Structure 1
Amino acid sequence: MTLDQSFSFGIIIAMMGLFIWGRLRYDIVAALALLAAVLAGIVPYNKAFSGFSDDIVIIVGSALVVSAAVARSGIIEVALTRYGAGITSMRTQMFVLVAAVAILSAFVKNIGALAIMIPIALQMARRSNVSPSRFLMPMAFGALLGGLMTQIGTSPNIIVSRLRGEMVGEPFSMFDFTPVGLILTAVGVVFLTFFNRLLPERKGLSGTMEEALDIANYTTEAEVTEDSTVLGKTVGDVHRLSEGSAMVTAIVRASDRRSSPLPDAVLEKGDVLLIEGDPQALDRAVSGGKLKLHGDKSDKKNQKTEPGDEFGSIEAVIGETSQLIGLTAQTLDLSQRFGINLLAVSRTGQRITERLGEITLHFGDVVVLQGDMKQLPDKLRQLGCLPLAERKIRLGNVRKALAPVLILAIAMGLTAFGILPVAIAFFAAAVAMVFFKTLPLREAYESVEWPILVMLAALIPVSESLSSTGGTVLIADWLSGVARQLPPYGALMLILVAAMAVTPFLNNAATVLVMAPIAATFATSLGFKPDAFLMAVAIGAGCDFLTPIGHQCNTLVMGPGGYRFGDYARLGLPLSILVIAVGVPAIMWVWPLH
């Protein structure tokens, strides 16, 4: 072993130790490893920051923006709310949720797909009177499996594709991952649907953000226009859009004439509906019925706005010294004087029956205000309102359901047919999402997981140093000595199991950067093609079912599901064994070793 090889191994072992220790964030650990490699002379000065211009960083960052735009569109929630409301069997609900999150994870980042589906799972759990823990962990595992189906589904696939391009001259394409990934996903969905009872039933942790806010129902005002889908339909149809969680409390017709909101009352153009419900239910009713919110100016073509204006809405409570107290929105002329619009009001212990502009505001009322997100904090201070702890409020936010899906489909088509490289296609898709206003610029930057990108950029030259110093050859020779006693499927299984074992303690992206070059060299030394072994690394790194810390999907459901650390292995260990048993022959069938 040369001195440079010793430095390379020492830095990677120390880096893995710091990852396991967990006291330093992963991007800091990667940055320290890069600095150590530069100081040791195994990464040249002029190559130290080459990772920041690598296609991997561009693809991962762009995919996060595209995922955020698709998630924001609300199209998934609308589809599942419309077609899933009648499902009452828990097993059927489990299948629908796990299959939906798996399919969605193939096209958007799996953590984003899971975040979209969790509120729907919580609604189904309430309807079925079961603990959310029954659904959440199987959904997290389904999201991990679904990410295996395409190149952009998960970071390991993106990294393996790029490394394969360096090794054999041609990267994996968008759907090269689909045959094996689809087989594993199908088997996994069936397993999770029928064997989820291996998981103990837990109660979610109390004190979540939604419970802490504990806001009573809001009242909002929305108008039926000629474009509304509920025009000519009944009040009951509006109720059904929100699954009965939002109720029409009054109908205001021409000349301020009020009509009783009976379920069979037919809605006419120009009707103004007073609707009461929680923010999510109101959003489903308003967006699903294409109703026009009172005072909503986010989509007016003639509105005078600056190019950088981003309209959104925020929850705030009226403070003790607020100038809003005792006045109405009409009296204050909020829109003209302050450039903000009152969209909804909530008052504890009281049902509001007045029209929105006529409500006399009280201390402690909670309001939803709409305006330019850059100016809203200053406006709230002027009005004496206190912004609530941040949570997603979609009521009054501009959303375009089909545009982001169309942009994603075009990007995937361009890459699938080899017209554009993945990095260019998805960077263009991310720019298009912002340009066509399917995602506000502020949310685009917020959606990018910058620590992940920094970690990737720092680790790329560190992992390359293992190859440049000959370290991968040393490890591959040692593994070859072990694998020569094994049949071909045993050698492939060895790599798959090693990747699975390392990922919970390292990081799936870091695992691939370290193990993929070793696996390729190992395959070559045994006289095999590297493709199957690279696929094994990607699958192993993408299938962490044993701990809550190896992947963000597992961490995300731990609190809402009330899971304990050991719960993951109870369901995850049998699933891991199943992935190995099915994955090895599937890889060998799709990617022959010779």
Structure 2
Amino acid sequence: MFGIAPEILFVYGLILLAVVLFVNKRIPFDTTSLILLAILVVSGILTPKEGLSGFSNPATVTIACMFILSEGLRKTGALDIVGEYFYTLSKLNFNIAMLIIMLVIGVISAFINNTAAVAIFIPVIISLSRDLGQSASKLLMPLSFAAMLGGVFTLIGTSTNLLVDSIARDNDMAGFTMFEFAPVAAIFFVTGFIYLFTIGIKIIPKRRKDEPLTETFEMQSYLTDVVLQQNSEFVRTPLENTDLIKDLDLDIVEVFDAKMTSKPNRGSITLESNDVLRIRGSVKELNKLLNREDVLIKPTKAWEDKDFELGNAQLVEAVVAPESSYEGKKLNQLNIYQQYEGIVLAIRQRGKIEQEQLADIRLQRGTSLLLYVDKERVNDIKTSEEFVLATEINLPEHKTSKIPIALTIIAGVVGFAAFGVLPIVATAICGVILMILTGCLTNEEAYQSINWKVIFLLAGVLPLGIAMQKTGAAQLLVDGLITQFESIGPTAVLSAFFFLSMMLTNLISNQATAALLAPIAIEAATTLGIDATPFLVAVTMAASLSFITPIGYQTNTMIFGPGHYKFTDFVKVGTPLNIIFWIIGTFVIPYFWPF
């Protein structure tokens, strides 16, 4: 067919399937990657050894280690302390706050997982914005963008850099040194800062208002206190056996005695006459209680956050994390109360607030939940892989005495790799061992810190690159690309790779983008008879600069809900920035890495 070998057509079909599944997101991306791996091995395109090579790839191992090292730094409380100092300095004025945000998050993201850093700073910025009298939306987007820009400074700053470095070495190239990306990254960072400080800040809308959570989630009409009368059949009945709200879309949020003292230990509460039941639900559902003579609905009041701090619980805003297992699941499948002793009062999803039929809503990454949760369990939410906490809370107990040790370990990992003493995969493994042996992390904490979805994604998509090269699919694509751009010169080819990578990373993950395009970039350079390094740098940089959508990069997803952004906000702010970087990258990359 068309003179193309069947195995090449098969691989092209597989690439198309991969892109469709990655964009559609109905199937988790890690599962999609394993599907691709299985098809390649079962079809005979790859041998089992080639198919499983992604699991043993140095990039996969190093990235897993970096998750653990970042967690070690977080567990000691080092990031929280940085957040406290940042908050104090930034309270001076808005311009200083924005300057410090971008510099601090940029430096941190160059050496640790930027999603961990952004997670720490989201509640800090929301609180800071309130003190400055500014919308948090104005600062959260620069936070995310600066985290991306900082991540490309070093080899370990983002998984994309490590992945492309590994692909380069697998193709008998020298790979990249620890700070080799820094000159171009610095140009991008300064350019991004100037753009955001002058133009971007004017385009970013003031979405999130300075208001309490009860107003942010529009709860005024969805909360009511109900008094249990003496003749009620539910008097002396355990709360868990009470069917007062049976068959109604209502939740009993909390129970108070007649003096409005919260009754602790929800699971063992026995209802008494004059108990006050705080109930969440719509007016329509609450009106169904009016016909009951054994309850009295108290007059509606203007709710404030402090009304929910009378007992042992508090209101918090929790955002579904980018790689959460909750994505795509209905709320009634999650048992949030059993896991966190929390009740979901409202949901903000796709810019719309939902207060009714919450149990049937399928959660998405970036969705914000208003939770009424036991104060002792708030830290469980903060440390959970499922949520990013957008509400500032008192700092949990950290191993602060271990901060110097953790910082020394990170410095050692970076230093030994930077000076060529050991490969980065070796220093990262040694760093993980030291984190555990010195008590910065336990074995269990180390295992839990690894984002296994990313690991399985890498293990699945790396063999696809091997299949593209093995079957000649990559070469065929290159021949078509060269035909279009060869007469213009290699700079045009580099520009094409930068643009394609920049567009693709806004739809699928940055790791998948790099894994798909890096082998093609190497083939293109070989065909042209030039060094592949500038092409690989273009793919690497562009894959990590996803500003146009809230779904292309994890940090954008994390701020989407707390910032109350619309999808188009990222398009308006991010498109000019991506175009600027495309132009700069086209001419600056060949300057530092000549063809």
Structure 1 length-normalised TM: 0.69
Q: Which residue of 1 aligns with 2:115?
A: 111
Trace 1:81-230 onto structure 2 (pairs within 5 A).
Answer: 81-82=84-85, 85-87=88-90, 88-195=92-199, 196-203=201-208
The corresponding residue for 1:541 is: 543
1:391 equivalent among 365, 377, 381: 381
Q: Which residue of 2 aligns with 1:36?
A: 39
Unaligned residue ranges in structure 1 (runs of 5+)? 215-315, 324-347, 352-362, 368-376
- Displacement of 1:488 in angstroms is 3.4
Q: Distance in 1 between matches of 2:503 and 2:39?
A: 26
Distance 1:483 1:523 in 2: 13
Q: 1:350 to 1:548 in 2, by over 3 A?
A: closer
Distance change >3 Å, CA 206–CA 526, structure 1 → 2: farther
CA contact (8 A) 2:83 2:121 kept: no
CA distance in 2: counterparts of 1:190 and 1:386, whole angstroms:
42
Structure 2 gap segments, 5+ residues each: 220-262, 271-305, 315-337, 342-373, 383-393
Q: Does 1:24 align with 2:27?
A: yes
Query: Which one of 60, 64, 84 corresponds to residue 61 of structure 1?
Result: 64
Seen in structure 2, the aligned counterparts of structure 1 residues 482 and 580 have a Cα distance that, compared at 3 Å, is same
State how many pairs are aligned.
443
Question: Counterparts of 2:490 and 2:264 in 1: how far apart (Å)?
Answer: 66
Residue 387 and residue 116 in structure 1: after superposition, are their counterparts in 2 closer, same or farther (change >3 A)? closer
Cα separation, partners in 2 of 1:486 and 1:140, compared to 1, 3 Å: same
- SS for the counterpart of 2:562 is helix
- Which range moves more in the overlay, 114-123 or 550-559? 114-123
Which residue of the partner structure matches residue 72 of structure 1?
Answer: 75
The 3 A distance-change label for structure 1 pair 350 and 168 is: closer
In the other structure, the counterpart of 1:3 is 6
For residues 545-568 of structure 1, give each alpha carbon's deviation from its aligned partner in whole angstroms, at most 9, with x where no partner exists: 111111111100000000011100
Shift of 1:206: 9.4
Instruction: State the 1:49 CA deviation.
Output: 1.6
**Residues 91 and 194, structure 1, Cα contact 8 Å, conserved in 2:** no
| Equivalent residues of 1:42, 1:465 under 8 A apart | yes
Report the Cα distance in structure 2 between the residues aligned to 1:66 and 1:417, rounded to whole angstroms: 20
Q: Give 1:473-552 correspondences, 5 Å limit.
A: 473-552=475-554
Superimposed CA distance per residue, residues 277-313 of structure 1 (whole angstroms, 9 cap, x where no aligned partner): xxxxxxxxxxxxxxxxxxxxxxxxxxxxxxxxxxxxx
Q: Is the 8 A contact 2:547 2:578 kept in 1?
A: yes
Q: Which amino acid aligns with 1:477?
A: D
Query: Matched residues, percent identical?
Result: 28
Assess, with a 3 A threshold, how the Cα gap between structure 1 residues 124 and 173 changes in structure 2: closer, same or farther: same
Contact 2:209 2:216 in 1 (8 A): no
Letter paired with 2:68: V
Q: 1:365 & 1:506 partners in 2: Cα distance?
A: 42
Report the CA distance between 1:131 and its aligned residue: 1.1
Task: Give the match's secondary structure for 1:432.
Answer: helix
Question: How much does 1:580 deviate?
Answer: 1.4
Task: Give the corresponding residue for 1:358.
Answer: none
> 1:386 and 1:406, CA in 2 relative to 1: closer, same or farther beyond 3 A?
closer
Q: 3-state DSSP class of the match of 1:518? A: helix
Q: Using the alignment, how far apart are the partners of 1:579 and 1:181 within structure 2?
A: 11
Q: Is the 8 A contact 1:77 1:120 kept in 2?
A: no
The 1:497–1:207 alpha-carbon spacing in structure 2 relative to 1, beyond 3 Å, is farther
2:438 to 401, 412, 436: 436
| Alpha-carbon distance in 2 for matches of 1:190, 1:440 | 42
User: Shift of the alpha carbon at 1:15?
Assistant: 1.1
Partner SS state of residue 419, structure 1? coil
Matched letter for residue 93 of structure 1 = A
Q: 1:365 to 1:157 in 2, by over 3 A?
A: closer
Kept in 2, the 8 Å contact 1:204–1:559? The answer is no
The answer on whether the counterparts of 2:76 and 2:398 sit within 8 Å (CA) in structure 1 is no
Question: Which residue is equivalent to 1:12?
Answer: 15
2: distance between equivalents of 1:141 and 1:459?
Answer: 26
2:572 aligns to what? 570
Q: Distance in 2 between matches of 1:320 and 1:210?
A: 29
Cα separation, 2, equivalents of 1:407 and 1:317? 44
Counterparts of 2:164 and 2:58 in 1: how far apart (Å)?
12
Q: Aligned partners of 1:208 and 1:471: how far apart in 2?
A: 53
Q: Is the 8 A contact 1:148 1:157 kept in 2?
A: yes
Q: Is the contact between residue 77 and residue 398 of structure 2 (CA under 8 Å) also seen in structure 1?
A: no
2:74–2:80 CA contact under 8 A, matched in 1: no
Could you tell me how far apart the structure 1 residues matched to 2:22 and 2:442 are?
Answer: 34
Change (3 A) 1:349 1:30: closer
Letter of the structure 2 residue corresponding to residue 545 of structure 1: F
The answer on whether the counterparts of 1:70 and 1:405 sit within 8 Å (CA) in structure 2 is yes
| Cα distance in structure 2, aligned partners of 1:320 and 1:142 | 45
CA RMSD of aligned residues (A): 3.0
Once the two structures are TM-superposed, the CA of residue 127 in structure 1 deviates from its matched residue by: 1.2
Residues 70/474 of structure 1: CA separation in 2 closer, same or farther (3 Å cut): same
CA gap 1:17/1:205 in 2 versus in 1, 3 angstroms:
farther
Query: Paired residue for 2:563, among 557, 561, 564?
Result: 561
**Counterparts of 1:138 and 1:364 in 2: how far apart (Å)?**
37
1:291 is aligned to: none
Q: Judging changes above 3 Å, is the alpha-carbon distance between structure 1 residues 349 and 510 closer, same or farther for their aligned structure 2 residues?
A: closer
Choose 503-512 or 551-560, whichever is displaced more: 503-512
Residue in structure 1 matched with residue 250 of structure 2 by the alignment:
none
How far, CA to CA, are the matches of 1:210 and 1:4 in structure 2?
58
**Aligned-partner Cα distance in 1 for 2:75–2:215:** 19
From the superposition, tell whether residues 206 and 14 of structure 1 become closer, same or farther in structure 2 (CA, over 3 Å): farther
Give the secondary-structure state (helix, strand or coil) at the position aligned to 1:92: helix
Asked if the contact 1:547/1:568 (under 8 Å) is kept, the reply is yes
Distance 1:366 1:156, change over 3 A: closer
Change (3 A) 1:350 1:464: closer
- Amino acid aligned to 1:588: P
**Aligned counterpart in structure 2 of residue 426 of structure 1, from 428, 434, 441:** 428
